[in-house]
């Protein structure tokens, strides 16, 4: 199926009926009123209207509105020849929606029978499940707790909690950037000892937009480091200095353009010349700030100078954002003293 951007979808009331067409949009041959597919080239006459209906139906399904989605798919059948392959696919999809709705009704009926007089209370709780799961999905909680527990055992609970929250803020940068574009994203998944990631689903986004989403993580991570150093200035607690320093260092490491790091995703939007500019900037920043991580950044960008994944069009926004993050995070590490060992 074609990609659908959910932010461009319509509700059933907003999908207007198309004007009648009397010539094929593909071959321009005259067609009699009521024709749904060109008899010469077999093009669907009302393809654009069908795409709008499909987008609206997909959005309704994404939001859990099965009845609304079913109505939209049923409307689509009116604009397709009955024997068209697409019509059969839609009829099968509608049957699947009906099956899901019936299964949910049967499950609700069984629970009502089992719970007896407590059924209304249980049903009220069930109504809030979507909002609760959005905030407290089990896999998110387990990953968060496991991540926190590992660093608690190594460095004490104060540093562990602050560092875990700073990683969460970094990942929420990706999550917010994805959701702001109307796309679906899962809550961050923590991998104790390895890091975290946000799984999301895109439909034909440009390399520039993908790079923006990648860079939003280090941007939010920089914000978390600044907040931590602010807490250190107010409380004079060394643990906040440690959280700020390690958080900034982690986000700078994440800009290395290799493997699945954010820097790799952002680099896909950079031309060979732009990658050369980032390489030069890393060498200059190392000479100025003496932060060894810039050598790893330079090595990674040197490798990416010779890969065959450069885009045809340059992305100035990606280049500027990448360079600003390199400078800001590097300057942060240069100005803030290395806390050394973390006190428990």
Q: Classify residue 309: in a domain, yes or no.
A: yes
pLDDT in tens, 21-72: 777 777 777 778 777 788 877 778 777 877 878 888 887 777 777 788 888 8
Where do the DSSP E strands lie in 110-267? 184-185, 189-191, 195-197, 200-201
Q: Classify residue 343: in a domain, yes or no.
A: no
Question: Both 95 and 202 in a single domain?
Answer: no
Question: Both 102 and 230 in a single domain?
Answer: no
What is the mean predicted confidence (pLDDT) over 248-276?
90
**Predicted local confidence at residue 112, as pLDDT:** 60
Question: Both 150 and 249 in a single domain?
Answer: yes
Question: Both 101 and 140 in a single domain?
Answer: no
Domain that holds residue 192: 134-335
The yes-or-no verdict on residue 93 having pLDDT over 70 is yes
Q: Classify residue 140: in a domain, yes or no.
A: yes
Q: Classify residue 128: in a domain, yes or no.
A: no
Q: Classify residue 121: in a domain, yes or no.
A: no
Question: Both 285 and 163 in a single domain?
Answer: yes
3-state secondary structure of 44: strand
| Radius of gyration over every alpha carbon of the chain, rounded to an integer in angstroms | 27
Domain count, the chain: 2
pLDDT in tens, 116-175: 655 565 555 555 555 555 555 667 777 778 888 888 888 889 999 999 999 999 998 988
Residue 63, C-beta contacts closer than 8 angstroms, at least 6 positions apart: none
**Predicted local confidence at residue 10, as pLDDT:** 45
Q: Classify residue 258: in a domain, yes or no.
A: yes
pLDDT in tens, 230-260: 999 999 999 999 999 999 999 999 999 988 8
Question: Both 76 and 145 in a single domain?
Answer: no
Q: Which of 54-68, 69-83, 190-204, 310-324 has the highest mean predicted lDDT (pLDDT)?
A: 310-324
pLDDT in tens, 201-213: 665 677 888 888 8
Where do the DSSP E strands lie in 145-265? 184-185, 189-191, 195-197, 200-201
Question: Both 105 and 152 in a single domain?
Answer: no
Question: Both 234 and 301 in a single domain?
Answer: yes
Q: At CB < 8 A and 24+ separation, what contacts does 146-155 make?
A: 146/190, 146/192, 147/190, 147/191, 147/192, 147/196, 149/192, 150/192, 150/193, 155/342, 155/344
**Predicted local confidence at residue 320, as pLDDT:** 93
Question: Both 281 and 148 in a single domain?
Answer: yes
The yes-or-no verdict on residue 338 having pLDDT over 60 is yes
What is the mean predicted confidence (pLDDT) over 257-267?
88
Rounded to whole angstroms, the Cα distance separating 313 from 164 reads 38
**Predicted local confidence at residue 120, as pLDDT:** 60
Q: What is the mean pLDDT of the chain?
A: 80
Give the predicted TM-score (pTM) of the model: 0.59
What is the mean predicted confidence (pLDDT) over 210-238?
92
Question: Both 83 and 140 in a single domain?
Answer: no
């Amino acid at each position: 199926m074609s990609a659908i951007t959910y932010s461009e979808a319509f509700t059933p009331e907003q999908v207007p009926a198309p004007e009648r067409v009397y010539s094929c949009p593909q071959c321009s041959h005259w067609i009699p009123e009521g024709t749904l597919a060109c008899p010469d080239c077999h093009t669907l006459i009302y393809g654009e209207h069908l795409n709008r209906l499909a987008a609206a139906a997909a959005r309704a399904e994404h939001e859990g509105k099965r009845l609304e989605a079913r109505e939209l798919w049923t409307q689509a059948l009116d604009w397709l020849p009955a024997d068209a392959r697409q019509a059969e696919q839609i009829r099968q999809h509608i049957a699947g929606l009906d099956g899901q709705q019936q299964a949910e009704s049967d499950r609700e009926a069984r629970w009502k029978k089992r719970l007896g007089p407590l059924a209304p209370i249980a049903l009220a709780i069930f109504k809030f499940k979507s909002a609760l799961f959005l905030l407290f999905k089990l896999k998110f909680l387990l990953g968060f707790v496991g991540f926190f527990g590992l660093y608690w055992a190594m460095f004490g609970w104060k540093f562990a909690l602050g560092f875990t929250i700073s990683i969460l803020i970094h990942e929420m940068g990706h999550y917010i950037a994805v959701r702001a574009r109307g796309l679906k994203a899962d809550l961050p998944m923590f991998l104790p000892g390895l890091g975290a990631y946000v799984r999301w689903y895109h439909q034909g986004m440009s390399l520039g937009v993908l790079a923006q989403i990648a860079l939003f993580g280090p941007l939010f991570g920089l914000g978390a480091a600044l907040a931590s150093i602010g807490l250190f200035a107010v409380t004079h607690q060394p643990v906040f200095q440690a959280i700020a320093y390690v958080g900034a260092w982690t986000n700078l490491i994440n800009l290395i353009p290799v493997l699945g790091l954010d820097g790799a995703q952002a680099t896909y939007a950079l031309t060979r010349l732009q990658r050369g500019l980032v390489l030069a900037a890393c060498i200059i920043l190392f000479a100025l700030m003496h932060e060894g991580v810039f050598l790893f950044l330079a090595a990674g960008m040197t490798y990416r100078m010779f890969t065959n994944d450069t885009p045809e069009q340059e992305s100035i926004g990606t280049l500027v954002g990448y360079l600003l993050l390199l400078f800001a995070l590097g300057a942060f590490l240069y100005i803030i003293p290395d806390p050394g060992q973390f006190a428990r």
